[in-house]
Amino acid sequence: MMSKAIIKILLITTSLSLGIPGFSQTEKEIIQLKNTVNTTSSDTERTNALISICFFYLSSNPDSGLYYGDLALQASRAAGYSTGEVKALNGIAAVYSQMGTSDKSLQNLLEAIKICEGKSLTAELQNTLGNMGSLYAELADYRQSIYYYLRSIDIAERNNIGKSTVGTYHIYLGQIYTLVGVQDSALFHVRKGYEILQKIKLEDEYANAFSAFGDIYSNRSDNGTALHYYYLALEESRKFQRDEIVCETLLKMAKVFNKMGRGDSALLCAKESLWSARNIRYTRIVKEAGEFLTNYYKENNNTDSAFKYIEVLMVAKDSLFSEEKIKNIKDLQFSEHIRDQELAAQSQAFRNRTKFIILGSILFLFVIVLVVLWRNNRLKQKAFNSLRKQKEQTDIQKDKADKALMELKGTQAQLIQSEKMASLGELTAGIAHEIQNPLNFVNNFSEVNNELIEELKIKKSKLKTEDNTEEIELLNDIYQNNEKINHHGKRADAIVKGMLQHSRNTSGVKGPTDINALADEYLRLAYHGLRAKDKSFNAEMKTDFDKTLSAGEGGIGKINIVPQDIGRVILNLITNAFYAVGERRKTGGEGYEPIVTVTTKKEGDKVFVSVKDNGNGIPQKILDKIFQPFFTTKPTGEGTGLGLSLAYDIVKAHGGEIKVETREGEARPLARAGMDGDDPVGRGTTFIIQLPTLQFP
């Protein structure tokens, strides 16, 4: 049978979780608590001190515990301290349970539950429900006990509270399932409870777990294992001065010893259990121990001793199961049942009111719809007469909507292109980084090898003979091979760096930018950069900038772009143009003058930037490939083929377009977006960047 120790332990755990010291106080601490009661001006502090004293006297002096519990209840009610009122009711219930007055214990717990539900005291409700489960277990109403334990565990887990009580309640559920013979469930709950206690290191509750394990193995007739766990429970309970668990464990051990035929050990444990239970007024164990001793002496034909313990047994039974107490418990259970029915009726009434409100709302809406339809019918003729005016307004709105839709599609395309560039960039960067390391080794070691070959050749030349002439020639061949390795390694290195540049995510932010100033700046930068590399290079630079795009006062004329990115595009196109005119100059004859022209033009909501050269032009057969990554028209070793691909992606990300017009070998007028002109020599290429205006006021 479930022991009353369960109730006591649960109530102690409840007090700990609510911040109330339990059975750990010494006499000195009790004196301090009494001084607090007499001196403090805080009603809350005084109530909590009284509750602590109540729990302290729970085992040693139940009458004093009841006295201080009543004082705590009066103080909490006077102060309107609902939490303290619930604590006090739980404390009083614990004392009545210790004294064997289960009906009054139940009455106080039911009152505590009402307060918790009315004041939404979640933590206090969780603990009180657990205490109800323990009390019903004491009354052998296991169905109700399991119901309240599970309710308490559910509230604790949903609100992440009461971890210590959850572990303890799992153990008590295991003890109940042991009593009703459901062994698998019993073992599951005890193990789960013990794991929780170990996780939170609540060592003073280990005794309950060991005792529950002992019950399971005793029920399986595995007496040796059962005694092992009972000894552990006895050791832990004495270690933490848990007298109620000591009494209960000793009686369980007596029953196991009796089954094993060890009568002396059984008799010793039972008497010690009875003596300890009488000292702490543990009526349930007094009854069970008296019953065990009476039966033991009857079986051993010791009539005098049997009569002696029958008297003890009868007194305990009378204390526990008097007719008045049983009647009070049934009355309380009936009242609780009536209360549940009232709550269910209130819930049903609420649902009925809700349905009525919904139906009324639907009817009201239906009436409104009828009124609106009637009114619309009356206005139909008037609306027909003003149809033309509405159509004009609709056309205006449609134009606005079309414009907004186009802007939305443009924004969507930009987002898709940006995402595409980001994904491709991550892949490209990963591959480039992986190639970079072995490529560095190839370049570095090829250079080191050439240095070593030079040193070896010098040493060999000093010792030049007929025998080493062939070796020197071989060294020359190796040197030339290394030169080729180094040349192509550096070319590969340039490609990798181009890939890394291509994959680099821009960190720039769009802002109002003077496109004329940007184009002019990068034109000068490209020209002087080439001049720094090749002093013989020279070309004429022309500009034709639309003045409406120049920055004025208040930012008029600026467009919304990332200047660093568009600058990279313009720089790449201008550099390619300079390269094209430079190549043609080598074969163009005396009449050829290299010219690079940069033009800007605004038309409607678009801005055009063109870079035009009079170089050799691009063959038509490769024109569709020039924006592909790694495709280049430059000779091997002079280009990576990533510049135009990068420019294409950047312009697409800005919601624009980049196009090319070229003619190879014959004169042709070039015209785009209002920019006209002829190539007097007959060849050339024009790259046109188209960007949305997005001007700033």
84-88, 325-329, 361-365 — most confident range? 84-88
Residue 659 contacts residue 572 (beta carbons within 8 Å): no
Residue 679 contacts residue 667 (beta carbons within 8 Å): yes
Strands 540-544 and 595-603: parallel
pLDDT at residue 465 is higher than 60: no
Question: By percentage, how much of the chain surpasses pLDDT 90?
Answer: 18
The confidence score (pLDDT) of residue 417 equals 60
**Quick check: helix, strand or coil at residue 672?**
strand
Position with higher pLDDT, 276 vs 666: 276
Domain locations along the chain? 420-503, 511-692
Query: By mean pLDDT, which of 123-132, 179-188, 624-633 is the weakest?
Result: 624-633
Q: Please give the span between the terminal C-alpha atoms of the chain, in angstroms, as a whole number.
A: 87
For the domain covering 511-692, report its CATH number.
3.30.565.10
pLDDT band of residue 598 (cuts 50, 70, 90) is: very high
pLDDT at residue 16 is higher than 50: no
Q: How does pLDDT run across 403-446, given as a tens digit for each residue? A: 778 777 766 766 666 666 656 555 665 666 567 667 666 767 67
- State the chain's mean pLDDT as an integer: 77
Question: By percentage, how much of the chain surpasses pLDDT 70?
Answer: 73
Rounded mean pLDDT of 181-197? 90
pLDDT band of residue 115 (cuts 50, 70, 90) is: very high
Strands 669-672 and 675-678: antiparallel
Q: How does pLDDT run across 515-534, given as a tens digit for each residue? A: 888 888 888 878 887 777 77
Positive/negative CA dihedral, 254, 260, 265, 266: positive
Using alpha carbons, select from 72, 64, 67 the residue that is nearest to residue 89.
Answer: 72
Residue 176 CA: distances (Å) to CA of 103, 171, 242, 329: 21, 9, 21, 21
pTM over 0.85: no
pLDDT band of residue 60 (cuts 50, 70, 90) is: confident
Gyration radius from the chain CA atoms:
48
Six-digit token string for 141: 């109403």
How far apart are the C-alpha atoms of 300 and 16, rounded to whole Å? 46
Rounded mean pLDDT of 161-172? 88
Position with higher pLDDT, 257 vs 491: 257
